[in-house]
Amino acid sequence: MPISGKRRALPEPHTTIDSGRGKLRFFLGDSVELLEALPAGTVSVIVTSPPYNLGIQYRTYQDSLPREHYLEWTDAWLAAARHALAEDGSLFLNVGAKPTDPWTAMDVAQTARRHLHLQNTIHWVKSIAIDRDAAGAAVGLDRDIAVGHYKPINSDRFLNDCHEFIFHFTAGGRTKLDRRAIGVRYQDESNIARWRSGGDNRRCRGNAWFIPYETIQSRDKDRPHPATFPPRVPEYCFKLHGLTRITLAMDPFLGLGSTAVAAAELGLDFIGVEMDEHYLNEAVERTRRALVAPRLRR
Ligand SMILES: C[S@@+](CC[C@H](N)C(=O)[O-])C[C@H]1O[C@@H](n2cnc3c(N)ncnc32)[C@H](O)[C@@H]1O
């Protein structure tokens, strides 16, 4: 259905959770249809990670389309996302790659260029090594450290891939952000006076976010999905956009519901869409559990 044509009515959600602070609606179905059915400009923030077309084994979705088809489909869902996104909204788009197919993330970003402005490029760092002497004496490391989730590969030509992109797209490139909502403390407090934004001893975190996966005991039981991001990824995105400016948050490729978990914990109204019922049920369960035992430190 063309976006400019008669809009299809929003279907009934599969599940609705009312947290008391926000309403979370979970839809079983196709993300493009759902995005197109939303009234134009009504979503404040989309945080999402679509399939990357890297041959990942999902339960339902076939992740190895011919490149041309994949990019046509990418164009279709991005056009639908642009329709649903508010003029001052944010689309945080996480895309991974694999060493033998390094262009995917850039191809997806170039496709988005037809619809949206690239306002920021964030590097989600999953693992990092820091040498003690490079960190400097003031940091107080007693040795070189390597922290985070490290997935070794056997290769004599590729480096281990320790990051993924999070592209921050907006309608006009001028969306205001609450940078200090995810800010970090100044290491050297004498800098505070020097910087105009230094009033509360916090500076902008910058565009490299170290967010490791939680350590789990059993992949099948604890994280039964091949391509998730930790809830801290959407948590930072929501806070960076500015919580008070969010009337509706969304993830059109919900997977196990990490974005729903973050939205629930932050008291946001939220819509999630997933084509696979097993993943969707798991997302609902995770969200319910998060409301009983919140993960966030307040
Ligand atoms: C990369 S995963 C998202 C994982 C999620 N960020 C998480 O942390 O759990 C992409 C998801 O999109 C779903 N999917 C693929 N095509 C879809 C479509 N057209 N509509 C709705 N969901 C779709 C897949 O089933 C898969 O679970």
Cβ 267 vs Cβ 63: under 8 Å:
no
Q: Is CATH 3.40.50.150 correct for 15-292?
A: yes
Q: CA–CA separation, 276 vs 288, rounded Å?
A: 19
Cα(161) to centroid of ligand 1, in Å? 22
The whole-number pLDDT of residue 1 equals: 44
Cα(249) to centroid of ligand 1, in Å? 16
Mutate to test the pocket of ligand 1, among 14, 59, 61, 281 (most ligand atoms within 8 A of CB): 61
In DSSP terms, 249 is beta-bridged to 45, 270
- The ranges assigned to domains in the chain are 15-292
Q: By alpha-carbon position, which residue is closest to atom 3 of ligand 1?
A: 255
Q: CA–CA separation, 204 vs 9, rounded Å?
A: 41
Cβ 48 vs Cβ 252: under 8 Å:
yes
Q: Which of 164, 162, 136 is nearest to 147 (CA)?
A: 162
- From first to last of the 298 residues of the chain, give the pLDDT tens digit: 445 566 788 999 999 999 999 999 999 999 999 999 999 999 999 999 999 988 788 888 888 889 999 999 999 999 999 999 999 999 999 998 888 889 999 999 999 999 999 999 999 999 999 999 999 998 999 999 999 988 888 899 999 999 999 999 999 999 999 999 999 988 776 666 666 555 678 899 999 999 998 877 677 777 777 888 999 999 999 999 999 999 999 999 999 999 999 999 999 999 999 999 999 999 999 999 999 987 765 4
Task: Tell me the residue type at 238.
Answer: F
- Angstrom CA distances, 89 to 18, 74, 142, 158, 259, stand at 24, 19, 44, 37, 16
The whole-number pLDDT of residue 4 equals: 56
Cα(208) to centroid of ligand 1, in Å? 24
Cβ 241 vs Cβ 44: under 8 Å:
yes
